[in-house]
A and B are shown apart, each in its own frame.
Chain A
Amino acid sequence: MSDHHGAPETPALYGVLGEFADADHLLAAAHKVREAGYVRTDAYAPMPVHGLAEALGAKRTKLPFLVLLGGIFGGLAGFGLCYYCSVIAYPMNIGGRPVNTWPAFIPVTFETTILGAAITAVLGMLALNGLPMPYHPLFNIPEFSQASQSRFFICIESKDKKFDEVAASDFLRSIGATHVTTVDN
């Protein structure tokens, strides 16, 4: 989502924002927005609504794959650390036992695997979401502060190829928006 900003010439309008009565209406409206061919859209709800992002046409998230990579990297790093320290850098001959005592390295390897996966999950989620982003045009709309509390919105963004301010506003009203606002950039 990081491509929302940084374009050379920013259009004056960010998009039009329609408010919907509740989660069910929001979900139904999201399907209609997608069917009408709008692509650059987003919905805002005070809690996760199952299937909402898919209704807007969002693709599968890469996050689980990244977390897998993070975990593998963490595990290799952990085992590598144990191996390097105990076999290469500081080998100790204790009664002729092997220096690569891999079962003893499992606890550390396990912990670093978890650590790598967890850090990737959180940082990956933030990065894919384009956060932190302290400023966003939507924050200028007074009603939008309710999106984190009790109200539901759909925004059709001006970057959409089909976007036309009047048509998009009328369309949002026609699919049941109780209130439509234009959002300046």
Chain B
Amino acid sequence: MATSHSDQRSATAAAAEIPVLAPGHSYGSITDQISSIVLTKGMSRGWLFGLAVSFLLVQVLLVSVVYLIARGVGIWGINVPVGWGFAIIIFVWWVGIGHAGTLISAVLLLLNQSWRTSINRFAEAMTLFAVVCAGMYPLLHLGRIWLFYWLMPIPNTMGIWPQFRSPLLWDVFAVSTYMTVSFLFWYTGLIPDLATLRDRAQSKIGKYTYGMLSFGWRSSARHWRRFDAAYLLLAGIATPLVVSVHTVVGFDFAMSIIPGWHNTLFPPYFVAGAIYSGFAMVLTLAIPLRAAYGLQDFITDRHLDNMAKVMLATSLMVSYGYVMEVFFGFYSANTYEEYLTRNRMIGPYAPAFWSLILCNTLAPQLLWVRKIRLSPVLLWCIAIVANIGMWLERFVIVITSLHRDYLPSSWGMFYPTFWDWSTYIGTIGVFLFLLFLFIRFLPVISIFEMRELLHKEEEHHHE
């Protein structure tokens, strides 16, 4: 086991030539460098500026939601025939972004990929915050937000129970389970690091807060063993969970009989798209983060290279989905499917469709070039393009399918309103605001796992 593992490691190391952890580190230096981001006194100007801007955006959301509650969903652009507007587009977009976090943490942990260690913590945080943003949308889309508990299977005076055959109810269970499990996974991984912060904190408030949060963790070998077992089990059950959540989101569409949605391809195609957009978001966040806090020793070019490769692979899977949609459209010999496919490409929303092909299929092809994968700036630009592309994909799926269905008499157009955009921008604000707080008060990189990585690399040198 040990030899095959090290053989494998040296083989990949030789191929990549870039280490996952820069040489010359000790347990102490890793601990110092990562925890110093949290434990320095005062706040840097850049951080305060970012926090302030994102806080303003949170206020935009607040105003939008208050106005929504006061006036109803009519302030959005949704109408007959497009009853699912931005609310679902952005819900799916955020849930998709959340997926890379669990994937990096869980799947790569099970696959024994050492490069996951430096990015899993903030990828998991990103997951949580993205799911928070996503979760708001179905509630807001209800219009009567205060009645959201009707979705819960709880006894009520009307004697009515939710419809368990509906994908929309499956969504309630899938997303809330996903959020709970993501939180548990993230927090469990944080416990040893919170203990480190407790032991290093200078201020009384810091010692007390991190002390309470770390549950009195004392790094005991017997505890570590149960911790490892729990962490691995969580990874094992989170992996099918990630797949199931976006599959259920795919079911929201595929279970209906609307042309363009009624498609068995949807669940896997949605999962691939989620991984693609999730990795794009991890890159979008990791590249500025490592520059701002000087984390190049931990988030090396090797990480960027690997994430770029995952993006390229999932971009190809998503592109396969696009090709198949067109193929099914024409091969099905179904007039409505055929018309929908044509309408997507040359109809009123054709610019959105072609931009999506440009963003999700053509732009990522640049990632075949190693030089581009190793250039943080270019990679960051491609990641942003991918985020936009995945947003456009959801827009095209939701809007083009609904706006022209079976009867030309019921056709119509969807135009997003000011409030559609302000709500969307507001959720981006919530995401960034939580992320800024996270960067300042919790370790962005898992400290104990970095020490473990160092320990394993040292063992490897001894052999």
Contacts and interface: CB of A to CB of B under 8 A. Distances in A.
5 contacts: A1-B220, A92-B163, A108-B169, A115-B181, A118-B238
**Which label, helix, strand, loop or mixed, suits the secondary structure of the B interface?**
helix
Interface string A115-134: 10111011011101101111
A150 B455 CA distance: 11
Interface string B210-249: 0110011111111111111110011001101100100010
Contacts of B57: none
A148 B153 contact: no
B164 A104 contact: yes
A111 B106 CA distance: 17
B233 A64 contact: yes
Given A46-B448, A101-B165, A56 B221 contact: yes
Nearest to A144: B218
Interface string A19-60: 000010000001000000000001111111100111010100
B24 interface: no
Interface string A74-90: 00001001100110011
Interface class of chain A by DSSP: helix
A142 B174 CA distance: 46
Contact of B161 (A1, A89, A110): A89
B221 A63 contact: no
Interface of B: 26-28, 31, 153, 159-165, 167, 169-170, 173-174, 177, 180-181, 184-185, 187-188, 192, 195-196, 198-200, 211-212, 215-230, 233-234, 237-238, 240-241, 244, 248, 251, 448-449, 451-452, 455
Given A46-B451, A86-B165, A107 B251 contact: yes
Given A114-B240, A138-B218, A149 B199 contact: yes
A182 interface: no
A58 B225 CA distance: 9
A15 B198 CA distance: 23
Q: Top 3 A-B pairs ranked by shortest CB distance?
A: A125-B230, A132-B215, A85-B161
A45 B219 contact: yes
Contacts of B180: 115, 118-119
A67 B232 CA distance: 12
Residue of A23, A48, A61 with highest tally of chain B CB at under 10 A: A48
Contact of B215 (A53, A82, A131): A131
B219 A112 contact: no
A107 B173 contact: yes
Given A86-B164, A114-B237, A44 B220 contact: yes
Nearest to A149: B31
B226 A63 contact: yes
A66 to B, nearest CB: 10
B233 A67 contact: yes
A161 interface: no
A136 B218 contact: yes
Interface in A131-154: 131-136, 138-139, 144-150
A49 B455 contact: yes
A18 interface: no
B31 A150 contact: yes
A115 to B, nearest CB: 5
B221 A43 contact: yes
Contact of B212 (A30, A82, A90, A134): A134
A133 B196 CA distance: 16
A145 B199 contact: yes
A176 to B, nearest CB: 17
A105 interface: yes
Given A63-B226, A85-B153, A118 B31 contact: no
A77 to B, nearest CB: 11
B237 A148 contact: no
B134 to A, nearest CB: 16
**Which of B26, B27, B187, B238 neighbours the largest number of chain A CB atoms within 10 Å of its CB?**
B27
Contact of A121 (B165, B224, B230): B230
Given A125-B229, A133-B215, A148-B196, 13 more contacts: A44-B218, A46-B196, A48-B225, A56-B221, A64-B233, A85-B162, A107-B174, A108-B173, A114-B238, A119-B180, A126-B215, A132-B215, A149-B196
B222 A48 contact: no
B27 A150 contact: yes
Contact of A122 (B195, B212, B230): B230
B159 A90 contact: yes
B217 A118 contact: no
Which of B161, B185, B215, B241 has the most CB atoms of chain A within a 10 A radius of its CB? B161
Contact of A44 (B174, B198, B221, B244): B221
Contacts of A53: 221-222, 224-225
Contacts of A138: 218
A138 B218 CA distance: 8
Contact of B27 (A71, A86, A149): A149
A121 B159 CA distance: 35
A115 B448 CA distance: 26
B165 A44 contact: no
Contacts of B153: 81, 85
